Structure 1
Amino acid sequence: MRPIADMPMETARNVTTLFADIDDTLTTEGRLPSCAYAALERLSEAGIAVAPITGRPAGWCDMIARMWPVAGVVGENGAFYFSYNNDSRRMRRVFAITDDQRSLDRQKLLSVRARILAEVPGAAISADQPYREADLAIDFCEDVAPLTTSQVDRIKQIFEEEGAVAKVSSIHVNGWFGSYDKLTMTRRFASDVLGLDIDCGKDRVVFVGDSPNDAPMFGFFPHACGVANVLQFRGRIEAEPAFVTLSRGGQGFVEVADRILAARNGRVAA
């Protein structure tokens, strides 16, 4: 992981699309700082397509797609994308799995939920679980006392023993049934909404993230960036970002935005 200041200006100048995680990437200590939101606006106004790629629930993503300066949002670690058209006042909702299958999967996740709560003391169901469509989110530090690394690993292991996919974020372990992830739905969103083939155009895309569930994105996009708190997961991420910021969370995201916008304006970022 090289400092964000090492991102070549030509690389930054050619960026047309920016994808970013939300928790501990756009947010800092659980809050969205004004500087990060302003950076989203500045990027959008500069003609750069912006989309959050998050583990957060459908209920949150509906609001984000409607109200944030973004082209859309991929939620629940790739379970769906939402994109709102302001002109037609219509929300486009595309899911990786059918309604019927999601209903069946939710029933299967109930037994996984019971097992995790019984076997991992201190783990809790995420407060945002009622607003989810496809996955089960287990809180290990957002609204509960932080669990140990071994406890977090055990939660992930239980999901996998039950045949589910499991990903660790900075606050939750998310589990679901299905072969999708952040990258597979991002590919679909980019094609459908942005008219972008990310397999051919990934050199013009920057992804910004912070935790192990961002590994598919870090590994795919050659100019991916991590905010500084990604360093706490060094050695626990299957793929690491090419660049890392000096600051944590939302302030780190601003560093990435500044680098891209400065290159477009022919300036050297501070």
Structure 2
Amino acid sequence: MKPLSELSLDSARALRVVLTDIDDTVTTEGMLTASAYGALEQLHRAGFIVIPVTGRPAGWCDHIARMWPVDAVVGENGAFFFRYDRERKKMQQRFWASPEELKRNRLKLDAIEAEVLGTVAGTALASDQAYRMADLAIDFCEDVPALPEAEVDRIVSIFERAGAQAKVSSIHVNGWFGDYNKLSMAKTLLADVFGIGWDEARASVIYAGDSPNDEPMFAAFPMSVGVANIRAFAHRLTHKPAYITNGHSGDGFAELADLLLRARHR
């Protein structure tokens, strides 16, 4: 991971899409700071296509798509995208699974939930689980005392034994049934809504993240950035981001935004 300062303004000038994780990438210790939110708004006003790509739930994503200075949002690790048309006052939604598949998957996730909570001491459902449509989120440090890494791995193994995918974020283990992730839905959104094919995306998109569930994005985009706190997860990553910020969390995201804005205005 090279320091972000080594990304030249000439290279950054070709970028026009900013995809970013939210938790501990835009937020800082669970808070959305003024500087990080201001960075989102400045990027949006400068003409960048700004899209959060998050593990957070559908209920949150409806709010984000409507009220944040963003062009769309990918949620629940790729289960869907939401895009709010402000002129028409209409929400566009695209889900990976059909309503019937979501119902069947929920029954299987309920069984996993019972096993995890019954066998891994100290875990809890994520506080935002009630607002989720496609996945199961197990809290290992957001609203509970932090679990040892070995216990986080136990949670992952329970999901995987049941045939589910499981990804570790900075706060949750998210699990789901389906052959999608952050990258697959981001590619669908870019192509179907913004007309950006994959070859163009690799040249014009930058992705910012902080944890193992961002790894598909780090592997896919040559221009990828980890905020400084990703160092805590570096040993879990086969594919690391190309660059790393000096600042942690939202300060790191603001650092990235500043570089992109300087390149745009140069």
What is the CA-CA distance between 1:198 and the residue it aligns to? 3.0
**What is the aligned partner in structure 2 of residue 224 from structure 1?**
224
**What is the aligned partner in structure 2 of residue 83 from structure 1?**
83
Q: Aligned pair 1:104/2:122, yes or no?
A: no
CA offset digits 1:48-76 (Å, max 9, x no partner): 00000000000000000000111100000
**What is the aligned partner in structure 2 of residue 62 from structure 1?**
62
What is the CA-CA distance between 1:10 and the residue it aligns to? 1.3
**What is the aligned partner in structure 2 of residue 134 from structure 1?**
134
CA distance in 1, matches of 2:3, 2:90: 41
**What is the aligned partner in structure 2 of residue 184 from structure 1?**
184
Letter in 1 for 2:218: F
Which blocks of at least 5 consecutive residues in structure 1 are unaligned?
none
CA distance in 1, matches of 2:205, 2:141: 31
What secondary structure does 2:236 align onto?
coil
Letter in 2 for 1:223: M
What secondary structure does 1:256 align onto?
helix
CA offset digits 1:114-155 (Å, max 9, x no partner): 111111100110010000000000000000000000000110
| Matched pairs, number | 266
Structure 1 segments (4+ residues) deviating >4 Å: none
Which blocks of at least 5 consecutive residues in structure 2 are unaligned?
none
What is the CA-CA distance between 1:8 and the residue it aligns to? 1.7
**What is the aligned partner in structure 2 of residue 120 from structure 1?**
120
Q: Give runs of aligned pairs for residues 1-270 of structure 1, distance below 5 A.
A: 1-266=1-266
Letter in 2 for 1:199: D
What secondary structure does 1:93 align onto?
strand
CA distance in 2, matches of 1:199, 1:112: 38
What is the CA-CA distance between 1:199 and the residue it aligns to? 3.4
Letter in 1 for 2:25: T
Letter in 1 for 2:70: V
Q: Is the CA contact (8 Å cut-off) linking 1:212 and 1:238 kept in structure 2?
A: no
CA distance in 2, matches of 1:100, 1:177: 13
Q: In angstroms, what is the RMSD of aligned CA positions?
A: 0.7
Q: Is the CA contact (8 Å cut-off) linking 1:74 and 1:182 kept in structure 2?
A: yes
CA offset digits 1:173-198 (Å, max 9, x no partner): 00000000000000011112211113
Letter in 2 for 1:172: H
Q: TM-score, normalised by structure 2?
A: 0.99
CA distance in 1, matches of 2:164, 2:171: 19
CA distance in 2, matches of 1:225, 1:113: 33
CA offset digits 1:41-100 (Å, max 9, x no partner): 111111100000000000000000000111100000000000000010000010000011
